[in-house]
Amino acid sequence: MTARVLDGRAVARQIYEEVGKAVSERLARGGSRPKLATVIVGEDQASITYVELKQRNARAVGIESEDHRLPATTTTDELLELTERLNEDDSVSGILIQQPAPKQIDMRRVIFALDPVKDVDGFHPVNAGLVALGMPDGVEPNTPAGIVELLERCGVAIEGANAVVVGRSNLVGKPTALLLLRRNATVTLCHTRTRDLAEHTQRADILVAAAGRANLIGKEMVKPGAAVVDVSTNWEGGHQVGDLGPGVEEVAGWLTPNPGGVGPMTRAMLIKNTYEAEVRRRP
Ligand code: NAP
C-alpha cells in the first residue's frame, strides 16, 4: 500500500481562502478588520522568521498585523505591561507572544495575564479548561486543532476510531487527545512510561506521533491502513524529520508529509483563530 497524502499545505490553502473570503464579507458589511499583534522578545532568528511568516499569512487574508519587538533584556514586568496594553487595545483581536522567550521571562505569568478572548494560541488556562470540558467557546491550540482539521478535511473517519497519541505535552499531545475524544474517537495517550508502545500503536486507526524522537515509530508498529500524523520536527543532517522510521508509507493508509503536514496547518489555525477572536468580540 502507498499511503494517501494528508496534505497540510493544500488544506491550509483552503483555510486561508475561506478566512480571506469571510474577512472580505465582514468588511463589506461594515464590520471591523481583525488584527493580530505579535510580540518577540530578543533576537532569535528562527523566532523572527517564524513570526514574519505568520504576519504574511495574516495580511494575505486581510487581517492586519502589528509587530512588537522587545530587547533580549526585557523583564517579565515589562512584557506584562505590553500584554496589558494589547489586552486593552480595542483594535487588537489576537495576541501572539512568540516562544521560547529568554530565560528571565516567567511565561506562565505572561500567559495567565493574556485576555483569554485574545489568546489566539489557545494557551491560557481558561481556554485549556474550556477545551478540556468540551465547551465550544474555548480557543483551541493551533497544532492540535490543525491535526484534527487536517484529518477531517481529508475524509479520515474519527468517530469510533481507535486513536493513539504518542506524547502528552500540554502543547500538543494532551490537547490533541482531547480534541479527538470530543469527536468521539476512543483515545489512548502514550508517553515515556508507557509499557509497550508498539502494542498500542499497532491498534491505532489514527496514530499521532508527537514525541520528538526520530525513528521512534517503525513500520512494524503501524496498523495497515492507519492514518498517521507525524507532528514532530526533529533535525537530522540539516533536514527536518519526524518520529517515523523508514517504510511507514508502505503500511499506512494516510500519511502527513514532514515537512508539509502539521506545520502549515498550525499556522493556518492561528489565522483562523484570529478571525474568530474578532467575530467573538464583535459579532
Ligand atoms: P515535548 O514537550 O518534548 O513532549 C514530548 C512528549 O513525547 C512527552 O510527553 C514525552 O513523554 C513523549 N515521549 C518522548 N519520548 C518518548 C518515547 N520514546 N516513547 C513515548 N513517548 C515519548 O514536545 P512537544 O512540545 O509536545 O512537541 C513534540 C514534537 O512536535 C516536537 O518535535 C516539536 O518540535 C513538534 N511540534 C511541531 C509542531 C508543528 O507545527 N509541526 C508544533 C508543535 C510541536 P513524557 O511526558 O513521559 O516525557
> CB of 99 closer than 6 A to ligand 1?
no
Report the CATH fold assignment for 30-129: Rossmann fold (3.40.50)
Report how far ligand 1's centroid is from the alpha carbon of 227 (Å): 19
Asked if 4 contacts 259 with a C-beta cutoff of 8 angstroms, the reply is no
Q: What strands lie across the sheet with 35-41, from one edge to the other?
A: 64-70, 35-41, 94-97
Asked if 179 contacts 145 with a C-beta cutoff of 8 angstroms, the reply is yes
Residue-wise pLDDT for 8-44, tens only, equals: 999 999 999 999 999 999 999 999 999 999 999 999 9
CA atoms of 222 and 199, how far apart (whole Å): 10
- Residue ranges, CATH 3.40.50.720, the chain: 142-262
> Other C-beta atoms within 10 Å of 29: how many?
7
Q: DSSP label at 220?
A: G
Residue-wise pLDDT for 52-68, tens only, equals: 999 999 999 999 999 99
CATH superfamily placement of domain 142-262: NAD(P)-binding Rossmann-like Domain (3.40.50.720)
Asked if 271 contacts 86 with a C-beta cutoff of 8 angstroms, the reply is no
CA atoms of 262 and 8, how far apart (whole Å): 6
Residue-wise pLDDT for 198-253, tens only, equals: 999 999 999 999 999 999 999 999 999 999 999 999 999 889 999 999 999 999 99
β-strand partners of 227: 206, 254
Q: List, by residue number, the catalytic residues.
A: 54, 98, 121
- Residue ranges, CATH 3.40.50.10860, the chain: 30-129
How is residue 191 written as a grid cell? 508517553
Report how far ligand 1's centroid is from the alpha carbon of 88 (Å): 34
Helix (H) or strand (E) holding 112: helix 107-113
How is residue 254 written as a grid cell? 494516510
How is residue 160 written as a grid cell? 469510533
pTM exceeds 0.85, yes or no: yes
Sign for the pseudo-dihedral over CA of 105, 109, 112, 115: negative
Q: DSSP label at 138?
A: S
- Rg of the chain in Å (alpha carbons): 19
Q: Take atom 48 of ligand 1 and give the residue whose Cα is closest.
A: 192
> CB of 143 closer than 6 A to ligand 1?
yes
> CB of 262 closer than 6 A to ligand 1?
yes
